[in-house]
Structure 1
Amino acid sequence: MGSDIGGILLPDSRLAREATELIRDVADDLIYHHSRRVYLFGAHHGRRHGLAFDPELLYVGALFHDLGLTEKFRTSQQRFELDGADEARAFLTARGIPADRARLVWEGIALHTTPEIPHHMAPEVALVTAGVELDVLGIGYDTLAPETREAVVAAHPRPDFKRRILHAFHAGLAHRPQTTFGNVKADVLDRFEEGYTRPNFVRIIEDSPWPE
């Protein structure tokens, strides 16, 4: 393991270093620092709840989870979570990680904006969501000792984070509004994208081509 931030160890393997280099090359400070906090908060949550997890896999999942919001990777028409999940799986398999282990990382990233379900899956899946929920939504904020929280934020600052992460979501979603159907990201475009109409599940059923 590598450095210690707030009592939480960061992996320092070749795999972890290469993942850090990749994210550092394509992500701005907002996404980089957020992703590192997601690992630290997720690992803290896992340790607190006695979960056995692979730190390398959790680290890659955390670092790649918002890759689909970066300028280089946000050009697809699929959900941005899938952009990061696909890249993470390719990154891991290219480095000899078995398919079943890479699949855990893919699932952790693909499901990190889907409430509740990840928490019933493998720790490497659940802890990405736990880290995201704490850093973005504040869920579990009071479970962190103030000194741990302060150490993490000192190492990975979050200036104007709420406004800036919402802007990053908007920039990553505006060209693919169809990907917000049935998930929380519809709230982002409803707030920030002029002319956006929120998809309505009931109306889609009622207007389907089936006669009854």
Structure 2
Amino acid sequence: MIPYAELPFPRTDAALNALRFAAGIEAPAIFNHSLRTYLYGRAAGERRGLRPDRDYDDELLFLGCVLHDAGLSDEGNGDQRFDLDGADLAANFLTEMGMPADRVEVVWDAIALHLCFDLAQRKRPEIALVSAGAGLDLGDDDPPVLPPGYADRVHTALPRLHAAAVLHDTIVGQARAKPHKAPPFSMPGELLRQQTGQRWPTWRELNEAGPWNDYAGLPPTTDPDTVRD
């Protein structure tokens, strides 16, 4: 039996294998979030006049969506930010399936850039719509993109299961165990800072810790009337 037969997912071998792979390694809330990301990403594309397999490769969009949070699984929990760990895990999985390198690269980019909305939107639709769909599933629908009642139908098929809370706790849990996965000024770093109250270094403090002594002899201020480039 084909899983989720009632939903408009691509039914290629690669898509079905990725679906099963993600289901086997991810928490149910994160897995459902990943599938909703595809449905919402496609809806965002339709709002822009983009049609699957006419204006973009639907299989690549699905692969980017269903695997975009693979870095939040035990298998994907490496030593980088979770978005990069997930991109690497997805690329290895697809390469082992025999997918050509140029197609793997698109999926890697889609996953690695999905937290960088403004940057992703400048890329090809298979990349841009992963980021857009993930944002929509976390409530970023202003101005409205999704048709009236669409989210209700999607949630009936793919319950939320406290998705935002599970994502937050998984990201922070990884970062607590491996703080280098949440560098300052990154999204994981900000979630960890909010949870722990940890203070981030200022620009000046970061540079004073470096080797170039750019602030040597300058007064302890960042007042633009005092400090000139």
Return the TM-score normalized by structure 2.
0.82
Aligned equivalents of 1:137, 1:88: Cα separation in 2 = 26
Aligned residue identity for 2:48: H
Deviation (angstroms), 1:149: 1.0
Amino acid at match of 2:129: L
Query: How far apart in 2 are the matches of 1:211 and 1:180?
Result: 23
| TM-aligned CA distance change 1:104 to 1:148, over 3 Å | same
Q: What SS is found at the alignment partner of 1:180? A: coil
Question: For 1:117, which of 116, 119, 123 is the aligned residue?
Answer: 119
Identical columns (%) = 33
Q: Which amino acid aligns with 1:192?
A: Q
Residue 34 of structure 1: SS of its match in structure 2?
helix
Q: Please show how residues 120-199 of structure 1 align to structure 2 within 5 Å.
A: 120-140=122-142, 142-178=144-180, 179-193=182-196, 196-199=198-201
What is the rounded CA distance, in whole Å, between the counterparts of 2:167 and 2:64 in structure 1?
Answer: 18
CA displacement, residues 40-81 of structure 1 (integer Å, 9 cap, x when unaligned): 11111112212321111111111111111112321x211111
Aligned-residue Cα RMSD (Å) equals 2.1
Aligned to 1:16: 15
Structure 1 distance, partners of 2:167, 2:204, is 30
Is contact 2:71–2:89 with CA below 8 Å preserved after alignment?
no
The separation in 1 between residues aligned to 2:143 and 2:154, in whole angstroms, is: 13
Amino acid of the structure 1 residue aligned with 2:18: A
Q: Which stretch of the first structure deviates more once superposed, 41-50 or 134-143?
A: 134-143
Unpaired runs of 5+ residues, structure 1, are none
The answer on whether the counterparts of 2:79 and 2:85 sit within 8 Å (CA) in structure 1 is no
Q: Deviations over 1:95-135 (max 9, x none)?
A: 33221221111011001112310000111111110011111
Distance 1:140 1:93 in 2: 37
Shift of 1:167: 1.1
Gaps spanning 5+ residues in structure 2: where? 215-229
Query: Normalised by the size of structure 1, how large is the TM-score?
Result: 0.88
**What corresponds to 1:92 in structure 2?**
94
Q: Tell me the SS of whatever aligns to 1:174.
A: helix
- 1:165-211: per-residue Cα shift (whole Å, max 9, x none)? 211221222223233333222221012236x3434444212331113
Measured in 1, the distance between the counterparts of 2:41 and 2:88 equals 21
Q: What residue number does 2:27 align with?
A: 28
| SS of residue paired to 1:146 | coil
1:89 to partner: Cα distance = 1.3
Matched, 1:70 2:83: no
Write 1 or 2 for the structure with the bigger share of helix.
1
Match for 1:102 among 88, 104, 117?
104
Take 2:126 and 2:202, find their aligned partners in 1: how far apart are those partners? 33
Tell which structure's C-alpha radius of gyration is larger. Answer: 2
